Amino acid sequence: MDERFNLAYEAAVMHFVQGETMESIARRLGVSRSTVSRLVKTARELGYVQISLHPPQELVDTLGSRISQRFGVRTHVVPVPFGANDARRLTAVATMAGILISETVQPNNVVGVAWGNTLSAVMDHLIPKPASGSVVVQLNGAANQISTGIPYAGEIMEAFGQAYGAAVTHFPVPAFFDYPETRSLLWQERSIASVRKLQSQADIAIFGIGAMVGAVPSQVYSGGYLTPEELSGLAAEGVVGDVCTVLLRADGSWEDLELNQRASGPTPDALRQIPRRICIVSGVEKVVPLLAALRAGVITDLVIDEDSAARLQELSKQNESVRGLR
């Protein structure tokens, strides 16, 4: 075992310090490329690799800085190679998000985590670090009429817990209740009330943006959580997406939407009580609901690919011009 740990460290040095490719390292060590990948992963899990990012001073006037100034958030724009497909774009964003989250999480933190396609990608790129006394709590329910949601959401929560040596608290309720009265009664149950209390004590919230439209609709809109009639009704109401399964219109409003009376996730009012709120976005189809989330004030830290960042700035300028003409 000691020999494997030493080999993991050696592979990590060659990869992160010397900049060698997996193929090159495999040839030098006389192992397969998949073995090198496992060795590097082991080195990260054992804490041999600590990654931090320090933007150069000359980037003060970058796209990310302009977004930060416009919306009052800390923005991390992820460069993406020209022509990159959606999977490569998501991997790049998830990698940056994993670094930022691991830099942010500290001992004794309560970390609220949502679920979704983006968080599924992020969980594979967390940088393991000890954060003794920390707790990971699920922010919104994942059950629907065809699934408990436990394997899907549970895998994400467990990955976050393992990365930081944190206890994990699940939230075993539906994403959307059938009736507001049912939600109200269940919120009074002590087992559920204790989870909701822990959610309210979160130091950090981590979530993606759900989009109603796009080449690949977000999990909330494609995973059987809403009926066709409900989806049509939301479109008629002007809903563009969601944060933690709480639905938003383009202007950031949400309070009077009937379905939000049945949603299990934290409202924008509740989210704003959490000091750090990290939102991860990959893909231009998320820009309209992202702008809604920014208008709702639920984000403090944004990780976004550069194409989406450029579209966000363009869209926000267009909206400002329209308001100026009124």
pLDDT in tens, 232-286: 999 999 999 999 999 999 999 999 999 999 999 999 999 999 999 999 999 999 9
What does the pLDDT average to over 138-167? 89
Name the average pLDDT for the chain: 89
293 CA to centre of own chain = 13
Task: Say if residues 106 and 131 touch (Cβ distance below 8 Å).
Answer: yes
Per-residue pLDDT band for 225 (boundaries 50, 70, 90) equals confident
d(CA 92, CA 90) in angstroms, rounded, equals 5
Q: Phi and psi (nearest 5°) for 301?
A: -130, 130
At residue 122, the pLDDT reads 95
**Does residue 57 have a pLDDT over 50?**
no
Q: What pLDDT score does 55 carry?
A: 54
**Whole-model pTM over 0.85:** no
Which pair of tokens denotes residue 114? 């949502």
Q: How far is CA 221 from CA 32, 173, 213, 217, in A?
A: 41, 18, 9, 6
pLDDT at 171: 96
Residue 296 to residues 193, 246, 251, 272, Cα–Cα distance (Å)? 26, 11, 8, 9
CA separation for the pair 199, 204 (Å, rounded): 10
> What pLDDT, on the 0 to 100 scale, is given for residue 215?
62
CA distance 321 to 59: 27
